[in-house]
Amino acid sequence: METVLFDLGGVLVDWDPRHLYRKIFTDTAEMEYFLSEVCHPHWNFLHDKAALEFETSIPEQQHRHPKYHDQIAAWRDRWPEMMAGSIMGTERLLEELKGKNTVRLYALTNWSHQTWPHAQEKFAFLKNFEGILVSGQEKLAKPDPRIFELTASRFGLDPKTTLFIDDSEKNIQQAREMGFATHWFRDPIRLRKDLMERGVL
């Protein structure tokens, strides 16, 4: 392998809206309803690829769900509280790879361009990447094959010699179909084992 291409959320960043909404809701079932039916995963995904932006999406959801007016506003106003921190085991692996300096390091993330500055402020480890492609800045998101093509083109990556790490099975399947080596991330221990077996670490 010549390159390791990391996903961020769920691999290096412990992002989960529940980190915020457990502070807001006292009823877990109601919180889960809110996160599945109001500020739901597809709604978040549309922000990740800049198909929605907070200036219009927040008022629209508040109009649809007036009962949750304040909770919807918190998605924008308290968004940084959804990040509990880094996934330490993976961050250590990234630091080790950077220290060895034997592979190129890049990141490909589904992340809203409106919230990306919060990550840049919080996570110093992002400096270890030669480049980061952010879906919201490109108006494309994984698993769209075009974002993989754009990443390879922009950073000069050969899929055959690039290991792509992601916690989403759909993203892994798409990358594999496009010729990337892949690791479906579950935890840092299994990732370390795979990196060692591949001779990367």
| pLDDT value for 70 | 98
| pLDDT value for 159 | 98
Find, among 50, 167, 161, the residue nearest to 108 by Cα: 167
| pLDDT value for 42 | 98
Are 93 and 192 within 8 A, CB to CB?
yes
Element (H, E) at 83: strand 83-86
Rg, the chain, Cα only = 18
Q: 162-166 and 181-184 as β-strands: parallel, antiparallel, unpaired? A: parallel
| pLDDT value for 142 | 98
- Residue 19 tokens read as 């980190």
| pLDDT value for 93 | 98
| pLDDT value for 26 | 97
pTM confidence score = 0.95
| pLDDT value for 20 | 98
The topology under which CATH files domain 3-14+84-197 is: Rossmann fold (3.40.50)
Long-range contacts of 73-81 (CB under 8 A, 24+ apart): 74/20, 74/21, 74/24, 75/17, 75/39, 78/20, 79/20, 79/115, 79/118, 80/118, 80/122, 81/19, 81/20, 81/23
Instruction: Match 């961020």 to its residue by tokens.
Output: 8
| pLDDT value for 131 | 98
Give the residues across from 182 on adjacent strands: 164
Neighbours of 147 (CB within 10 A): 21
Query: Residue ranges of the domains in the chain?
Result: 3-14+84-197, 16-83
pLDDT in tens, the chain (201 residues): 999 999 999 999 999 999 999 999 999 999 999 999 999 999 999 999 999 999 999 999 999 999 999 999 999 999 999 999 999 999 999 999 999 999 999 999 999 999 999 999 999 999 999 999 999 999 999 999 999 999 999 999 999 999 999 999 999 999 999 999 999 999 999 999 999 999 999
| pLDDT value for 88 | 96
Neighbours of 77 (CB within 10 A): 12
